[in-house]
Chains A and B, each alone.
Chain A
Amino acid sequence: MSEGNMNITLKVWRQKNKKTSGKLETYQVEGISEDMSFLEMFDVLNERLVSEGTEPIAFDHDCREGICGMCSMYINGQPHGPLQGVTTCQLHMRSFKNGDTIVVEPWRSVAFPVVKDLVVDRSSFDRIIASGGYISVNTGNAQDGNSLPIPKDDADKAFAAAACIGCGACVSACKNASAMLFVSAKVSQLALLPQGQPERQDRAMKMVAQMDAEGFGSCTNTGACAAECPKEISLENIARLNREYLGASLGSTN
C-alpha cells in the first residue's frame, strides 16, 4: 500500500457490546494515500492500534467491491459517506481533504442494535426476507425464456429493484429509521415478474407485518433513503409497496 501524505482526524463510535453505551473517540491517522479506500484507511489505523496493543475498531466488510452490502459506516452525517451511489468500500480518500475531521458512526435504528463499535446486527432484514421475500418454486431445469413473456419495462424495473444489496443505508438515512425502501425493493422485484404472482398478496402483507414487528419507523416520504442508497433504488418502489400492501389488504380473502 502506497504511503500518502493525508492526515486525517477520525472521530469513531466505540462501543463494547450491545449492553453498554458508547462514545465517540478521536484518532489521528497519518500518511494516508488518497487512493486508499475508506476501509483501507481503517485497516491502516487498526494495524497501528493492534501494534500499540489496543483494541482495533470493529467494522463490517466483506467483498470490498460494492456488491455484498456488508459495509455500513455513517460518515460525516451520511450513510456510506459523501459520494452518491457507492458503498463505503468504494469510497476513496480522494473524496476528503488533507486535515479533514471525519465522524464515523454506526447505523442507528432500534432494529439494528450495535454489536460492537461500528458493527450493527441487521438480522431484522433477514427476518423480513424470511417472512415472504422469496418464491416457493421447486427448481428444475430452467424453462424456455419465450414461455414467460415479460415486458422490457417491467424487467428493467424488477432488475433495478433487485439491485438492492440490503445494506441498510436507507434505514440509517431516514429520520424515522424506516425500512420502507428496502422492503419495497424486495416486494417490487417479485411483484413485477410472473414468478412472483402466486404469493404476491401474501408476500406484501407478511413482509410489512414483519417490518413493523421489528420496530422500524413509518415512511414520511422525505426521500432521504433514495438520495443515500448506494444502488439508487427509486422511491417509485415505495409507492408500489403501498399499492401492493393496500391492494392485498383490501382484495385478498384472508
Chain B
Amino acid sequence: MSWLTKTLSSSIGKKVLMSLTGLFLCTFLLVHLIGNLQLFKNDGGYAFNKYAVFMTTFPLIKIVSYVNYALILFHAFWGLYLEFQNRKARPVAYAVVRNQSSFSSRNMAILGTILLVYIVVHMGDFWYKFHNEPLPYVQYTENVTTGEVVTKTMDAGYTQEVKIVEMSNEAAGTHSVIVKDLFQEVGVSFQNPLLVIFYILGMFAVAYHLYHGFQSAFQTLGWNHPKYTPLVKFIGTWVFAIAIPLGFAAMPIYFFAKHLMGN
C-alpha cells in the first residue's frame, strides 16, 4: 500500500475525505444560491433562463458540475459506509443513553440520506426536464438603448437544435434570444403545495446537516484555534445552517405565494 492510500484508509484519512468533499459541496451550495437568486428578478425569467443556458454550456462550468455530481455521490456513499463501519464498533447497544451531543451531530447519516433523496427528486424536477424534455421556448427581445425587454412565449410546437439562439437587429436596435423557459417550469412546479413542503423539509435537512457538518469539517482537518474556530462556528451556523437554507426555501414559498395571489 502506498503512503497515500494508507493515509486515506486510516480512520482519520477517511474522515478527511468526508471533510474535503463536504466543504466543496458547501461552496457549491453558496454559488448555487447566488445564481438562483435571479429567480426573484421580476424580468419574466430573462436573467435566470440565460443563466441556465450559461451553466449548462460553458465548458469549465460543465466540468465543475460533473465533478460536483461525482462528489455528491462519493460524499453520500462514503458517509454511509463510514456510518455502517462505526456501528460495527458497538455490536451490543446500550439499554439507556443520555446524549450530551447535538441532534445534528448524531444524525448526520440520516440527514444526509434525506438530502440524497432530495437531490435526486430536485434534479428530476429541473435538471432532467431542462436537458431531456420539450419545455416551451421563450423569446426575449431587448432594446439595446433603453434596456427594455419584451417577452414572448414561442408557439407550442417550436423547437431548436441549440440551447440558445441569438439574433441582433441593428436597424431596430434590438437584441433577442430564444431559450427554454426553465423559469416558467420552476413557477409551475411550485404551484404544487406538496412539492413546496418537500422542498422546505429538504432545506431543514440542509440546515441541520450543515450546522454540524461545516464546523466538523474544519475540526477534522485539524483546524481548531482560539482565534479562528469561533469564526468557523459563526459562519457554519449563520451562513450555512440559517441564511443559505432560508434563501433556498424562500424560492418555492415565493412562487407558491405568487400563484396564490393569481399571477
For A243, list chain B residues within 8 Å (CB).
222
Interface size class of A (residues with CB under 8 A): 35 or more
Report whether A218 and B93 are in contact in the complex, using a CB–CB cutoff of 8 Å.
no
The residue that A103 contacts in the complex, of B91, B96, B221, B223, with Cβ under 8 A, is B96
Report whether B89 and A239 are in contact in the complex, using a CB–CB cutoff of 8 Å.
no
Q: Hey, what's the 0/1 contact readout for B66-97 against A, CB within 8 Å counting as 1?
A: 00000000000000001001111111111111
Kindly report which residue of chain A lies nearest to residue B221, judged by CB atoms. A242
A238 to B91, CA, bound (A): 24
- Known: A105-B96, A110-B89. Contact between A221 and B10, CB under 8 A? no
Report whether A212 and B220 are in contact in the complex, using a CB–CB cutoff of 8 Å.
no
B10 to chain A, nearest CB (A): 6
- In the complex, B15 has a CB within 8 A of chain A: yes
Report whether A77 and B89 are in contact in the complex, using a CB–CB cutoff of 8 Å.
no
For A26, list chain B residues within 8 Å (CB).
none
For B90, list chain A residues within 8 Å (CB).
108-110, 175-177, 217
Q: Which among A28-36, A143-151, A223-231 touches the partner chain?
A: A223-231
The residue that A177 contacts in the complex, of B89, B101, B102, with Cβ under 8 A, is B89
Report whether A216 and B97 are in contact in the complex, using a CB–CB cutoff of 8 Å.
no
- Known: A221-B212, A222-B102. Contact between A77 and B97, CB under 8 A? yes
- Known: A175-B86, A175-B101, A223-B101. Contact between A103 and B220, CB under 8 A? no
A238 to B99, CA, bound (A): 20
Kindly report which residue of chain B lies nearest to residue A78, judged by CB atoms. B98
- Known: A208-B12, A223-B101. Contact between A105 and B95, CB under 8 A? yes
- Known: A77-B98, A208-B10, A208-B12. Contact between A215 and B89, CB under 8 A? yes
Report whether A175 and B106 are in contact in the complex, using a CB–CB cutoff of 8 Å.
yes
Judged by DSSP, the binding face of A is mixed
- In the complex, B237 has a CB within 8 A of chain A: no
A220 to B78, CA, bound (A): 13
Interface residues of A in 229-247 (CB under 8 A from B): 235-236, 238-243, 245-247
Report whether A220 and B89 are in contact in the complex, using a CB–CB cutoff of 8 Å.
no
Report whether B11 and A110 are in contact in the complex, using a CB–CB cutoff of 8 Å.
no
- Known: A110-B91, A111-B89, A235-B224. Contact between A242 and B12, CB under 8 A? yes
Report whether B219 and A178 are in contact in the complex, using a CB–CB cutoff of 8 Å.
no
Report whether B93 and A221 are in contact in the complex, using a CB–CB cutoff of 8 Å.
no
For A78, list chain B residues within 8 Å (CB).
98, 100
Interface residues of A (CB under 8 A from B): 11, 21, 24, 74, 76-78, 82, 103, 105, 108-111, 173, 175-178, 180, 208-209, 211-212, 215-224, 227-228, 235-236, 238-243, 245-247, 249-250, 254
Interface residues of B (CB under 8 A from A): 3, 6-7, 10-16, 82, 85-102, 105-106, 108, 212, 215-216, 219-224
Contacts A105-B95, A219-B15 known; 17 new A-B pairs at CB < 8 A = A77-B94, A108-B92, A176-B87, A180-B11, A212-B10, A216-B11, A217-B87, A218-B15, A218-B82, A219-B12, A220-B216, A222-B105, A222-B212, A223-B105, A224-B99, A235-B219, A247-B222
